[in-house]
Amino acid sequence: MRRRRDPGLHGRRDPVGVILAGGAGTRIGGSKAVVNLNGRPLISYPLEAMWRALGQVAIVAKIDTELPSVAGVTVWIEPDEPRHPLLGVVHALGLADGRPVLVCPVDLPFVSPGLIRRIVDAGRGRRPR
């Protein structure tokens, strides 16, 4: 009897990149997504890296989360309670239509497309590039 692999990251379907942006940002003084870093909103850095590596990205945020204008990016609104990053992950998994999900917090401006590809490759059992 042959075992079927869990489609997860081992399947042929590419993961959806998800930026978690639903946090309150109390330590940074407000919504992290719009904090200015070198003339750009903080969210633009991981968003660009995920898009370059995966081609499809969604943002998970609360209804009242302040976001900059991000043309062509889907925003998934998560429930207001509880306030925990795990809720954003669970919400993304529910909306990803069975595709694997690779999450990244909004406040990781130095994540690179290469690192994201290496994570996806490792999840597929491939050697890092």
Mean pLDDT, 10 residues at a time, over the chain (129 residues)? 36 81 73 89 95 94 89 87 80 89 94 94 74
Please tell me whether residue 120 adopts helix, strand or coil conformation.
helix
- The CATH architecture that domain 31-121 belongs to is Alpha-Beta Complex (3.90)
Per DSSP, the three-state class of 95 is: helix
How crowded is the C-beta side of 110, counted as CA atoms within 13 Å?
0
Q: Where are the domains of the chain?
A: 31-121
Q: What is the spatial distance between Cα 96 and Cα 107, in angstroms, rounded to a whole number?
A: 22
**What pLDDT, on the 0 to 100 scale, is given for residue 83?**
76
Question: Residue 101: left if φ>0, alpha if ψ -120 to 50, beta else—which one?
Answer: beta
User: What's the pLDDT at 2?
Assistant: 33
Global confidence as pTM:
0.80
Phi-psi region of 72 (alpha: psi -120 to 50; beta: other; left: phi over 0): left
